[in-house]
Chains A and B, each alone.
Chain A
């Protein structure tokens, strides 16, 4: 078990290196720092001096991979690659365009992101599983039919509409909660109710339908017939037999997203003005702040890989076939 986890952890290293190389290539090889400078400084009539200054401020004036004139280890360390990519492993993200320390910024913004993402995740999971179980229980009836139609219809609505519609209806028309904004502490609740609700609704359709498929798949299996042949009530069959089996793919499927909850939700946060990592990322993308985007790509990947690791571990915990094999 421990050896297994260790092996999976080791496997993550080449992936992280790959991600690092990919982002480096994307940010520094596809377009040179000169291109970025021109872009940032406004396209027309940029003087070479301004470009040089822009690059020097950000440390982009060094060679990309290999600093030939430098001495010793500096040949490798005094390069853009080392400074901007290798240092990410040490969580040294550098500074954003507004000269703030990215790492600090990430730390302070994590809280609001989690305050939104965790309730969305938990409530969503419960609602979806319950609803899917109900629809599966009443399979091949009108309830099932209209339940699926509802899911498909909700899947067909862009999350943007849910947000805009929710804000309009609940905040603007009914004045139930503030339209956007955020404060720390307990008061955050009134700012979070609406985004959480919308987050849950937005993911409802596809998840519920997927879980229903899982449930129905399990219900077609032989052991369900065996359970029925024992004279067990349908509810016992559902909860003791079907749910327990179907929860394995469901839980292991959602475990992977748990770490990425830290990243927050891009769209919802920015619409509701929640100062989390999601809105940070969006702002950075819109301001073309490459240092921040690079850092977020790296963090996101690390968290995803942690999620994969947790998935592997959770399999060994929930599924006796994996645990004891």
Chain B
């Protein structure tokens, strides 16, 4: 049975609107030309490929359903689990279901902690026990090296095969359609990703590639699940931020006078409160609110999702001021321009002037600040989760992963893999987003200082 989480709806809404916007821009030179400039940059193309992979994982993780429980008898109506799963969970079922007891190192075959184990001769001793799943297929542990090497090699070969097929298909279609895009960079980025993903996928069949955490969960699975949280925070927030920022900024700059005074007052006030504190205050209140209305949410996933959505709304509410300030300045400048004066001379209504003249001419600023905000929001999530005002503790996110890993660093012997996994996944995402944002800024307007 499909489940619609609130954030799922918004994510797919966003996907739809981005697609609609792309379709709309296609035939409009002033919208399409900057994008063409963006995709002439090699870094932009490469980082777009990386981002696309992340988005793919995120979107797969945004189609939820409740699996049917095995019917006790044939006639009974189908019962559904209270747990909502996503398509990604379905694909990663082996990773999700193979729990260990506690920590285990990447690709390990034994636990990271000594336990009483029963020796073949019946005596017990303290030793590192074999893992339940990691390397369980190995007959003898001595085969480990060979098995890992074989799997990695097989993964590489499969990755190369897939890469070649994609490249062949792309040459027929994409390259012909857009010959100016540096496809070499895209191919290189894709190749690099596949070369990593292939062996990892092969190894994941038999091992915990990135180890397991304290409760024995696969860290790779956690890292993949965190992607959706990051993407949701980075994009859904803009749904709140955009209307507020655009309306307030443009209205203040265009109408001036008391409208400007009121809006400036509002955003100075909001801006005055230190960001983290304001967010913390909001989130604490949200937390109290959710705790007191626990009965509204049938599943824990829905409750956690509501908290995630609330966090997005709060981040949006507290961060529209920057965009509003930028747009106000631009609208002030634009409203003096002669084509606006010409529109006044035609008696064109304010609404029409805003829609036809001001909004299209600030669109580039909106787009630039959107892509720049994305990485800032992803980074903010980690900090907020550390402070304790981030996502619900039951939601997997980079923030919660880091938060948990903090204590593991102090542990002897140290557990480093959770932190390393979070670092690598997050760094790749934010770096790609930052590089892409740079290209977007250059493509749309190199003079905008955001």
Q: Which residues of B contact A214 (CB under 8 A)?
A: 449
A36–B284 Cα distance when bound, in Å, is 10
- Choose among B273, B294, B389, B449 the residue that contacts A300 (Cβ–Cβ < 8 A): B273
Q: Which residues of A contact B265 (CB under 8 A)?
A: 14-15, 18
Say yes or no: is A122 at the interface (Cβ < 8 Å to chain B). Answer: no
Known: A38-B292, A167-B409. Is A301-B382 also a contact (CB below 8 A)?
A: no
A210–B372 Cα distance when bound, in Å, is 13
Q: Which residues of B contact A19 (CB under 8 A)?
A: 269, 272-273
Cβ B288 vs Cβ A39 within 8 A: yes
Cβ B281 vs Cβ A158 within 8 A: no
Could you tell me the dominant secondary structure of chain A's interface residues?
helix
Q: Which residues of A contact B426 (CB under 8 A)?
A: 158
Cβ A156 vs Cβ B431 within 8 A: yes
Which B423-450 residues have a C-beta within 8 angstroms of A?
Answer: 423, 426-427, 430-431, 433-435, 438, 447, 449
Nearest Cβ on chain B to A44's Cβ, whole angstroms: 10
Q: Which residue of B is nearest A168, CB measured?
A: B409
- Cβ proximity bits A148-175 to B, threshold 8 Å, 1 near / 0 not: 0000110111111100100110001000
- Cβ proximity bits B262-295 to A, threshold 8 Å, 1 near / 0 not: 0001001111111011101110110111011010
- Choose among B276, B285, B430 the residue that contacts A26 (Cβ–Cβ < 8 A): B285
Say yes or no: is B387 at the interface (Cβ < 8 Å to chain A). Answer: yes
Known: A31-B289, A167-B409. Is A152-B434 also a contact (CB below 8 A)?
A: yes
Q: Which residues of B contact A152 (CB under 8 A)?
A: 431, 434-435, 438
Q: Which residues of A contact B285 (CB under 8 A)?
A: 26-27, 30-31
- Choose among A36, A157, A168 the residue that contacts B427 (Cβ–Cβ < 8 A): A157
- Choose among B281, B288, B379, B447 the residue that contacts A297 (Cβ–Cβ < 8 A): B281
Say yes or no: is A79 at the interface (Cβ < 8 Å to chain B). Answer: no
Nearest Cβ on chain A to B213's Cβ, whole angstroms: 16
Q: Which residues of B contact A300 (CB under 8 A)?
A: 272-274, 277
Q: Which residues of B contact A305 (CB under 8 A)?
A: 272
Cβ A293 vs Cβ B284 within 8 A: yes
A313–B278 Cα distance when bound, in Å, is 27
Say yes or no: is B406 at the interface (Cβ < 8 Å to chain A). Answer: yes
Cβ A158 vs Cβ B383 within 8 A: yes
A168–B409 Cα distance when bound, in Å, is 8
Q: Which residues of A contact B447 (CB under 8 A)?
A: 217
Q: Which residues of B contact A38 (CB under 8 A)?
A: 291-292
The count of chain A contact residues (Cβ–Cβ below 8 Å) is 51
A14–B276 Cα distance when bound, in Å, is 22
Known: A260-B274, A297-B278. Is A290-B284 also a contact (CB below 8 A)?
A: yes
A23–B269 Cα distance when bound, in Å, is 11
Known: A30-B289, A152-B435, A304-B272. Is A285-B383 also a contact (CB below 8 A)?
A: no
Q: Which residue of B is nearest A34, CB measured?
A: B292
Say yes or no: is B7 at the interface (Cβ < 8 Å to chain A). Answer: no
- Choose among A155, A217, A293 the residue that contacts B280 (Cβ–Cβ < 8 A): A293
- Choose among A43, A160, A213, A290 the residue that contacts B402 (Cβ–Cβ < 8 A): A160
Cβ A285 vs Cβ B389 within 8 A: yes
A1–B241 Cα distance when bound, in Å, is 37
Cβ A158 vs Cβ B382 within 8 A: yes
Known: A18-B269, A27-B281, A301-B274. Is A164-B409 also a contact (CB below 8 A)?
A: yes
Say yes or no: is A311 at the interface (Cβ < 8 Å to chain B). Answer: no
A249–B169 Cα distance when bound, in Å, is 51
Say yes or no: is A104 at the interface (Cβ < 8 Å to chain B). Answer: no
Known: A36-B288, A160-B382, A167-B409. Is A26-B274 also a contact (CB below 8 A)?
A: no
Say yes or no: is A296 at the interface (Cβ < 8 Å to chain B). Answer: yes
A263–B274 Cα distance when bound, in Å, is 9
Cβ B273 vs Cβ A301 within 8 A: yes
Which among B268, B272, B433 has the greatest number of chain A C-beta atoms within 10 A?
B272
Nearest Cβ on chain B to A138's Cβ, whole angstroms: 19
Say yes or no: is A318 at the interface (Cβ < 8 Å to chain B). Answer: no
Which among A14, A36, A300 has the greatest number of chain B C-beta atoms within 10 A?
A300
Q: Which residue of A is nearest B406, CB measured?
A: A164
Cβ A31 vs Cβ B434 within 8 A: no
Cβ A286 vs Cβ B383 within 8 A: no
Say yes or no: is B419 at the interface (Cβ < 8 Å to chain A). Answer: yes
Q: Which residues of A contact B238 (CB under 8 A)?
A: none
Q: Which residue of A is nearest B388, CB measured?
A: A286
Cβ A304 vs Cβ B271 within 8 A: yes
Cβ B387 vs Cβ A156 within 8 A: no
Cβ A156 vs Cβ B278 within 8 A: no
Identify the 4 closest CB pairs spanning chains A and B, nearest first. Answer: A300-B274, A156-B431, A156-B430, A18-B269
| 18 A-B contacts (beta carbon < 8 Å) | A14-B265, A22-B270, A23-B273, A31-B285, A35-B288, A152-B434, A158-B398, A160-B383, A160-B386, A161-B427, A164-B402, A267-B383, A293-B277, A293-B280, A296-B277, A297-B278, A300-B272, A301-B273
Which residues of A approach B to under 8 Å, CB–CB? Answer: 14-15, 18-19, 22-23, 26-27, 30-31, 35-36, 38-39, 43, 152-153, 155-161, 164, 167-168, 172, 210, 213-214, 217, 260, 263, 266-267, 281-282, 285-286, 288, 290, 293-294, 296-297, 300-301, 304-305, 308
